[in-house]
Amino acid sequence: MATEICITITGIRKPGLNESDFHKYLTNYHAPLALPFLLKYGIKEYNLIDNFTSCRPYAEEMQMSKKIADYDYVVQFVMRDVNDFKRLWEDEDFRASVHPDHKNFADETKSGISIGYRTRFIAPERHSSGRLKN
């Protein structure tokens, strides 16, 4: 059995927020706001995948599915234990600062979530020093 938990959120941008401004806001403000809490509670990975409209023609061209995903972004968190994320989610300082910020970039009424086990088939390569290879 896999030993890592992955929480995946599929989201829709706040109405009126374009793709570029969304990406800038998340990378320059929200992620730096959230990172100290994620690190404090042992979250191993925090990833943003932008589902920009400029990339959708590739999905249409490849015809890998009958339905093109209609969300704007994916956020993934990887951890050893889902209780790590539960503790983060219940942290009073997180609830007061990071959680309310979601309204500045997301339409939370249309977001989806899944929680499951991650199984890696290809892992990043590392130098002998432990650093990731580019």
Q: Has residue 25 been placed in a domain?
A: yes
What CATH number has the domain bearing residue 99?
3.30.70.100
Q: Has residue 134 been placed in a domain?
A: no
Tens digit of pLDDT at every position of the chain (134 positions): 568 999 999 999 999 999 999 999 999 999 999 999 999 999 999 999 998 888 887 877 887 777 778 899 999 999 999 999 999 999 999 999 999 999 999 999 999 999 999 988 887 777 777 676 65
Q: Has residue 106 been placed in a domain?
A: yes
What's the domain range around 31?
A: 4-118
Tally of structural domains, the chain: 1
- Beta carbons of 71 and 44 less than 8 angstroms apart: no
Q: Which residues pair with 126 in a beta bridge?
A: 132
Give the Cα separation of 122 and 130 in Å (integer): 17
Q: Has residue 110 been placed in a domain?
A: yes
Q: Which residues pair with 16 in a beta bridge?
A: none
